[in-house]
Amino acid sequence: MNTRTSSSFSFRSPALRLVSRVAAAVLGGYALASAVAVFLAAVLPAAPAEAALGGMQFSFAVYAVAVIWAFAPVSLPRAWAGLLLPAVVLAGLGLMLRGAGGGA
C-alpha cells in the first residue's frame, strides 16, 4: 500500500483510484481541450481559418487547467464528469454549428 498517495488523497485503494484520476486528467483533459478547439473554431467571430487557428492555440491552456483541476480535491466521478460532460456538449455544438455542413 502506498502510504504517500493515500495521505495526499485519502484513497482507500490508491492504485486504481490513482490510475483513474491520471486517466481523467490525461484523456479527459485532452478531450476537453479538443472540444474547446472545435467549439471555438465554430463560434469565434472571425473568418473560419482564423477561428480554427485561435481555438487550436487556446486549447493547450485549457488542457493545462483541466489537468490542474483533475488533481484538485474533487471526487473521482466529479473529475470525470466535470471534464467529459462539457467536452461532449462543446464538441456537439461545434459539430452542429459548423462541422456537418452548417455555418458560413
Residues forming the site for other proteins (CB under 8 A): 8-10, 12, 33-34, 37-38, 40-42, 44, 46-57, 59-61, 63-65, 67-68, 71-75, 91, 94-95, 98-101, 103
CB 63 within 8 A of CB 30: yes
Question: How far is the C-alpha of 8 from the C-alpha of 80, rounded, in Å?
Answer: 19
Count of CA atoms in the C-beta half-sphere (13 A) of 3:
0
Nearer CB in complex with other proteins: 60/85: 60
In the complex, minimum distance from the CB of residue 41 to other proteins, in angstroms, rounded to a whole number: 4
For residue 80 the three cell numbers come to: 470525470
In the complex, minimum distance from the CB of residue 26 to other proteins, in angstroms, rounded to a whole number: 9
In the complex, minimum distance from the CB of residue 24 to other proteins, in angstroms, rounded to a whole number: 13
Question: How far is the C-alpha of 14 from the C-alpha of 62, rounded, in Å?
Answer: 27
